[in-house]
A and B are shown apart, each in its own frame.
With several copies, the nearest count.
Chain A
Amino acid sequence: MPSVAESTLGVRADFPIFAGRPDERPLIYLDSGATSQKPQVVIDALAGHLRDHNANVHRGVYPLAQEADAAFESARAQIAAFTGATPQTTIFTKNVTEAINLVAYSWGRANIGPGDAVLITQMEHHANIVPWQVLCRERGATLRYLEVDDRGELSLSALDAELARGDVRLVAFAHVSNVLGTINPVAEMTARVRAAGAVSLVDGAQAVPQMAVDVEQIGADFYGWTGHKALGPMGIGVLHGRGEILQEMEPFLTGGDMIASVDFQSATWNELPWKFEAGTPMVAEAVGLGAAVDYLSALGMDRVREHERSLTAYMLEGLARVPDLRVVGPPEADGRGALASFTIGGLHPHDVAELVSRSGVCIRAGHHCAQPLMRCLGVGATARASVGVYNDRSDIDALIDALLAAREVFALDAP
């Protein structure tokens, strides 16, 4: 089967979870959009740091503490370089959700007031919706949504029209939608936002794991992403920010490490990026994420994207063979990230996910933390299959077979 070879990176053996499951069922993991599996090098880097170099960072003069410092800050440098950013403007958070909350609390409360508007899109994840709802309610501002069209895409002219209203201070949007798969024209969008004098925030949670991302080139004021979807550990996220804006912002979390000096009634702040990192950071997780971005760089993000694009195209073909199945989002694999969300007439997505799991296929079902989008799509929930570097066509074949079998359990073709 040469076609299988065509769309494999041949790296599955790097991921120990595929070596065998306790129930001896195959693991057909098609849920990388929720979280990625971890290569052994990432697990080793994390465990190795705890075993050999563990100390608290930033303050110790003994060699072990200096090793920990060096490991932490060189992980930051690696991670910043991976996304075209500088270490000074690369802030570690616990996940992208915290990164967005940081901006909402710290930048938002100082810059958004009554009469102002925050513009987001109908395809956002709750992490890029709820913080803005809370901010707008607190500050007497308005939250507006950019529409998603029938192809699952945003319209640049609709963005222009919104910006022309003159009240938009911040525009926040996903780089790649976690439900539709849509790859948004982020550089065009941030340029328009900047021209209108507003600030942009891009949620790169789905983008960074699957394509080359250069935050400098994208030109967003804030760009956030999350380690666990990019082959890294859980418990670590990243916020890149434009230096001048970060300089002006007040800190978000306060406490140790983020101060320059503390007096009884007031304190002064440390330099970037530490001003935004209060308390003991997730050092081993940073080291693990450093190993993850190294691993991805060695594969080459363009190869990763091409592999996943081709596999997604193959998946869309396969899904088209399942009766009553409707895929949401852009019709072609070229314009979409490495996932497909779908519904099957007569079958609830939960039941679909449960039934395919009988053959070891792992897909997600639900609202994918995007309830407003579900409402726009007119569905309560969808099933979603998403691919990663370790998948190949055999996984897609197993998915399609399992979907067909699921329909049979519900006797959907019975007369």
Chain B
Amino acid sequence: MDDLYRDYILDHYKQPRNFGELEPHDLEALEHNPLCGDELGVHIRVCDERIVDLRFQGHGCAISQAAASIASEELKGMTLAEVEQLDADWMIDLLGIPVSATRRKCALLNLKVVRGAVTGDHAWPT
């Protein structure tokens, strides 16, 4: 079996969780992967400083789509303060596959979008 393209990665890629639009929503953001031009956007509904629902939309490779799908299940229910603390390691650990330096940008795109929506800081990760 392939190291990177594990069954659960392919499963999340082919049947992504929490994809689509969310109307109305309280927070949103859109980011590009400069490597390939892929786009990922997020809609977030917030209640009491906590993420109560979110949806991703856009297109990308298996890594970026699976990462968004896997993360979406964890993000629901987190407080905004918790989201602000999330770092690259959190996402990479969650993915559970060895990600090369080049593909890191794919793996982290969704966290970049979510952090952008929550904190307004679009520079992360540098």
Residues of A within 8 A of B (CB): 58-61, 65-66, 69-70, 88, 259-261, 270-271, 348-351, 354-355, 358, 365-367, 371, 374, 380-381, 409-411
Contact A354:B38 (CB < 8 A) given known A260-B32, A271-B126, A380-B59: no
Chain B interface, >50% SS class: loop
- Which B residues touch A381, using CB under 8 A? 36-38
Chain B residues contacting A270 (CB-CB under 8 Å) are 34
- B62 CB → nearest A CB, Å: 5
A371-B37 contact given A88-B126, A351-B62, A409-B5, CB 8 Å threshold: yes
Bound-complex Cα distance A340 to B31 (A):
29
Is the pair A366, B36 in contact by a Cβ cutoff of 8 Å?
yes
User: Which one of B5, B34, B62 has the highest number of Cβ atoms from chain A below 10 Å of its Cβ?
Assistant: B34
- Among B61, B102, B126, the residue within 8 A (CB) of A66 is B102
A260, B39: Cα distance in complex, Å: 11
Taking each of B4, B37, B100, which has the highest tally of chain A beta carbons within 10 Å of its own beta carbon? B37
A271-B123 Cα distance, complex, nearest whole Å: 8
Across the interface, name the chain B residue whose C-beta is closest to A349.
B36
* Contacting pair B101 A355 (CB below 8 A): no
Partner of A367 from the list B37, B101, B123 (CB cut-off 8 Å) is B37
What 11 additional pairs, Cβ within 8 angstroms, besides A365-B36, A374-B37, A409-B2?
A: A66-B101, A69-B102, A261-B37, A350-B35, A350-B36, A350-B63, A351-B5, A351-B63, A380-B60, A381-B37, A381-B38
The complex places the Cα of A58 from the Cα of B10 at a distance, in Å, of 26
- Nearest chain A CB to B64 CB, angstrom units: 8
Quick one: closest A residue to B65, CB to CB? A348
Of A66, A349, A365, A367, which one neighbours B100 at CB under 8 angstroms?
A66
Cα distance A239–B32 in the bound complex, in angstroms: 28
- Chain B, interface size category, equals 20 to 34
CA gap between A270 and B123 in the complex, in Å: 10
Does B25 count as interface, using CB distance less than 8 angstroms?
Answer: no
0 or 1 for each of B51-87: is its CB under 8 Å from A? (1 = yes):
0000000011111000000000000000000000000
* Cβ of B106 under 8 Å from chain A: yes
Q: Within B1-33, which residues are at the interface with A (CB < 8 Å)?
A: 2, 4-5, 10, 32
Contacts across chains A and B counted by CB atoms under 8 Å: 70
B114 to chain A, nearest CB (A): 18
Q: List 8 A-B contacts (CB under 8 A).
A: A65-B102, A348-B60, A348-B62, A350-B36, A350-B61, A355-B2, A358-B2, A409-B5
Q: Which residues of A contact B102 (CB under 8 A)?
A: 59-61, 65-66, 69
Residues from chain A with Cβ under 8 Å of B38 in the complex: 380-381
Minimum CB distance partner of B2 in chain A: A409
Find out whether the CB atom of B123 lies under 8 angstroms from the CB atom of A69. Answer: no
Give CA–CA (A259, B2) in the complex, Å.
33
In the complex, what residues of B have CB within 8 A of residue A367's CB? 36-37
- Bound-state CA distance A351–B66 (Å) is 12
Which of B34, B61, B126 is in CB contact (< 8 Å) with A351?
B61
Which chain B positions have C-beta within 8 A of A409?
2, 5, 10
- Docked complex: B79-126 residues within 8 A CB-CB of A: 100-103, 106, 123, 126
Give bound CA distance, A374 to B32, whole Å.
14
Contact of B61 among A58, A70, A88, A348 (CB under 8 A): A348
Check A59 against B35 for contact (C-beta < 8 Å). Answer: yes
Q: Report B-chain residues with C-beta under 8 Å of the C-beta of A355.
A: 2, 5
Contact: A354 with B36, CB < 8 Å?
no
For B125, give the chain A residue with the smallest CB separation. A271
Complex-state Cα separation, A365 to B63, whole angstroms: 14
Contact of A70 with B59 in the complex, beta carbons under 8 Å: no
Cβ contact within 8 Å between B10 and A411: yes
In the bound assembly, the distance between CA atoms of A355 and B61 in angstroms comes to: 12
CB–CB A61/B37 < 8 A:
no
Bound-complex Cα distance A271 to B36 (A): 15
**A358→B5 CA distance, assembly (Å):** 12
Given the complex, which residues of A lie within 8 Å of B36, measured CB to CB? Answer: 349-350, 365-367, 380-381
Are B10's CB and A61's CB within 8 A?
A: no
**Contact B100 A61, beta carbon cutoff 8 Å:** yes
